Structure 1
Amino acid sequence: MTKEQTTADGFSYTLERTLEAPVAAVWNAWTTPEPYAQWAYAAPGSVEMDVRPGGKWKATVVTPDGGEFPLTGSYAEVEVNRRLVTGMDVPGKDEPALMTVELAEEGAHGTRLTVAQTCDTADQRDTAEQGTTMLLDSLTAFLKSAN
């Protein structure tokens, strides 16, 4: 069962889901290139991750119509199996757009996943929230197929 809660405040949003997978499996899916590429709409072989504070990441996202968008960023905070703060480089901005992912055990074999992000405008927030919701749907399906 997937529970979802959405909270929007100003130009921020928070999505919370309960996933039917252990914390370590969710962490692995989010921080390992091959599984990440499978659920995050990334081109095979395009994902690189140096998961440590100050480490860099990159991926090429493939849209449903076949468009490719290279993304880059860095990791601001890394607490294995608990918290991941990633920054995505935004053209024309000095500071990356930060996204916080928090994991907590839920029941015997589940994970409560909380994703939060603050954007510069309401439109950016709405677009980012929609994209993150799609990613979480894909992650949920990926974790179910991995069990």
Structure 2
Amino acid sequence: MSNGQTPTTDGFAYTLTRTLDARAETVWRAWTTPEQYAGWAGAAAGSVEMDVRPGGAWKATMLTPDGGQFPLTGSYIEVTENRRLVIGMDVPGRAEPAAMALEIDPQADHRTQIVLQQSCDTAEERDMAEQGSTMLLDGLAAFLAARTNG
């Protein structure tokens, strides 16, 4: 696995790039299957619901390292199976959902590059979102490695 990080310079956006040792279809299922997502994203078992289609809703209750829980909700803005997923996340006090785009690009040797991008309203929001997304990608990489090697 290789890690890349290319912050964009316009506004408060970030881009994270990873190359994973898994096929694109496997990466897609990890992001779009409730049981798999809960297994790597830090969600409470049984709390993840996904209607993976444009306009479909999703929700999950995330667990914090200190034992806390917080609910997340949103919808799918764009869905191109095994290639692209744009996820809207509901943010309290914000009229429009925060959108996070995930590009899935098959590579040689059954590897997959993923590029995750998000634009935020403030530097603080961007820094928090980027930290959360980095943790997500770390969890995904570990989950996929365990499935491949286990």
Q: Give the TM-score normalised by the residue count of structure 1.
A: 0.97
- Structure 2: which amino acid aligns with 1:53? P
Q: Taking every aligned residue pair, what percent have the same amino acid on both sides? A: 63
- 1:63 corresponds in structure 2 to 64
CA apart distance, 1:133 = 0.4
Match of 1:23 in 2: 24
Would you say 1:6 and 2:44 are equivalent positions? no
Matches within 5 A, 1:129-144: 129-144=130-145
What is the aligned partner in structure 1 of residue 82 from structure 2? 81
TM-score by length of 2: 0.96
Q: Counterpart of 1:84 in 2: which secondary structure?
A: strand
Cα separation, 1, equivalents of 2:42 and 2:8: 25
Deviations 1:81-100 (A, max 9, x none): 00000000011111000000
Conservation of the 8 A alpha-carbon contact between 1:20 and 1:111? yes
CA drift of 1:2 comes to 2.2
What is the count of residue pairs matched by the alignment?
A: 147
Secondary structure of 1:108's partner? helix
Distance 2:76 2:67 in 1: 28
Q: In 1, Cα distance between the equivalents of 2:110 and 2:145?
A: 13
- Superposed CA RMSD in Å reads 0.8
Find the aligned partners of 1:144 and 1:120 in 2 and give their Cα distance.
34
Q: Aligned partners of 1:47 and 1:83: how far apart in 2?
A: 20
Q: In structure 2, how many angstroms separate the alpha carbons of the residues matched to 1:69 and 1:8?
A: 29
Match of 1:35 in 2: 36
Aligned pairs (5 A) from 1:45-124: 45-124=46-125
Q: For 2:128 and 2:3, how far apart are their aligned partners in 1?
A: 21
